[in-house]
Amino acid sequence: MIKQWIAKYRTYFGIAGILLLLISSFSYAMFQGGFVSWFLFYSIVPLVVYTFFIVVFRLTTISVERHIQKDHYIAGDTMEVTVSLHSKIPLPLLFLVVQDELPKTLMRNAKGDGYYYQSHTRALLFPLFKRDISYKYVVKPVPRGVYKFESVSFETGDLFGFVSKKVNISKPRTIQVFPKTQIISGWNVFETHPSGMKRAGKQAQRDFTSAVSIRDYTPGDKLSWLNWKASARSNKLITKVFETQRNDDFVVFLDGSHPVYQRDGEHVFERAVSLAASILKHSLSKGTSIEFHTVGKDHTEFTFQSGQDFETKVMYHLARIQPDSKNSLSSILKKEVHEMSRGVSVLIISPDLSDTFIHTVERMAGNQVKTMFFYLPKQQALSDEEKQVLTRLRHREIIVYPVLYNDFNEVVKAGVANASG
C-alpha cells in the first residue's frame, strides 16, 4: 500500500527533492562563497533544468513503428523485429528505455541482435538530439501459435532518479506461426487400401440431383459435375459437390486432450500437431478428400473437403490449437464411429493407450473401419508394456506407427515394415 502511494506521487516528491537540492546548493554558495561553492551550484543548475524539462516533456510526441518482415511464419523460423523511433524535433533526452511488449511465449525466445545495452526486447537507447533511432531483436526459434503484439513502452527520467516517466503506445499486430511440416515420400496409404490393394477409385453413393456446395476442380472429376456458371464467373473450373456417403475417404483425428501433454509433454503435443499438418498436406497433394477432427477444449470438425481453401482453414486452426483435457478422444470416437460407413479409413494421432481407448479402436476395426494409429510415446523408446499393447492392436489388423523419430518418413517406413512383418 505504501509502495503504491509513493509510486503515485513520485514525480511530486522528485520535484520537491530537486528544488531542495537547488536551494541547498545556492544557500551554500551564498554563505560559503568562493569558486568551489559557486562551481557546485552552477553544475547543479543544468541538471535541475533537465529534470524540469523531463517533467513537462511528452513522450507521446515520439512516434514508433514495429517492422516485422511478414505476418506468417513456420514453427522453427527466425523472426527479425526492428523497433524504430522518430521525432519531428531532435530528441533532447540523455537516455530512453524502450521495450516491445511481447506475449510470454515469444519473450522466452527473444534475443538482442548485437546491441550491447539490450536484454531480450528491452533496450537502453541514447537519443542525444537524434531524430531517428532504432534497435533490433530476433525471436529464434519462433514457436507455433497465433500471437498478438500489443504495445511498445518508453521510459526515461532525470539523472538523480527523482523523476521518471513512462508511456505505452499501442501498436497492435497479429502474427500467425503455422506448424512445421515435412514432405512424406514413399507413403502410398492415400493411393492404396491399408491391406495393400490398389484403390479402385471413388466408390460412393451420390445423389446427383442434389448439389450441396461447390469446390475447385481436381483431376478425376467428371465433366458432368462441373458448375459452368460458377466456372465462368471465377475464370477457373468449379465442381459441384453432391450429397454423398463416401467409403474410401480418410478421417483424421488429432488428440489434444490427453493429460500427458500437461505433464512436461509439450514437445509431444508439438510433434503431434506437426505430424497432423504433414499428413494433411500429403493427403491433399494426392487429391484425397479428407475429414479432419481435433479434440481438446472443443471438438472441431472440418468435413470432407479438398483444395487450397480447406488446407488454409485447417492449418490456421492447427496454428491456434492448444492441449486441453476438457473432452476425451475416446468419447468422440464412440460417437463418430456410428456415422462412418464401411471402408472408411481413420488415422488417429494420440499418446493414449488406456483400456477405454484401446477397446474403442478395436471396436472400430471390428466394424470394418480401416484404422491407422500414430502412437506418440513420451520417451524415445517403447517400454515392454507399450510394445505388448501395440502388438495386440496389430493383431486386430490395425496399422500402428510409433512416432519415435522426428523424421516422419522414418515413422511411416517403420509402421509399414511392422504391418508387413
pLDDT in tens, the chain (421 residues): 566 655 556 666 667 777 777 777 777 777 777 777 777 777 777 877 887 788 788 888 889 999 999 999 999 999 999 999 998 888 888 889 999 998 888 988 998 877 778 888 899 999 888 889 999 999 999 999 999 999 999 998 877 777 788 899 999 999 999 999 998 887 776 554 444 434 433 344 444 445 656 777 776 666 777 777 777 787 888 877 655 444 447 889 999 888 777 766 788 899 999 999 999 988 888 777 788 999 888 888 888 766 678 888 999 999 999 888 777 888 888 887 777 666 678 999 999 999 999 998 988 888 778 889 999 988 888 889 999 999 999 988 898 999 988 888 888 876 655 554 5
Residue 129 CB coordination number (10 Å): 10
Rounded to whole angstroms, what are the CA distances from 10 to 3, 55, 57, 332, 405? 10, 11, 16, 58, 57
How far apart, in whole angstroms, are the C-alpha atoms of residue 349 and residue 398?
Answer: 13
Long-range contacts, stretch 192-199, CB < 8 angstroms, 24+ apart: 193/248, 193/345, 193/370, 194/345, 194/370, 194/372, 194/397, 194/399, 194/419, 199/248
Question: Based on C-alpha coordinates, what's the Rg of the chain?
Answer: 32
Place of cell 468435413: 303
Instruction: Classify the C-alpha dihedral 330-332-335-337 as positive or negative.
Output: negative
Phi first, then psi, for residue 218 (nearest 5°) are: -125, 145
Phi first, then psi, for residue 194 (nearest 5°) are: -55, -25
Q: Helix crossing, 408-420 with 266-285: angle to 10°?
A: 80
How far apart, in whole angstroms, are the C-alpha atoms of residue 368 and residue 214?
Answer: 30
Tell me which amino acid residue 234 is. S
- State if pTM tops 0.85: no
How far apart, in whole angstroms, are the C-alpha atoms of residue 377 and residue 350?
Answer: 9
Q: Is 1 helix (H, G, I), strand (E, B) or coil?
A: coil
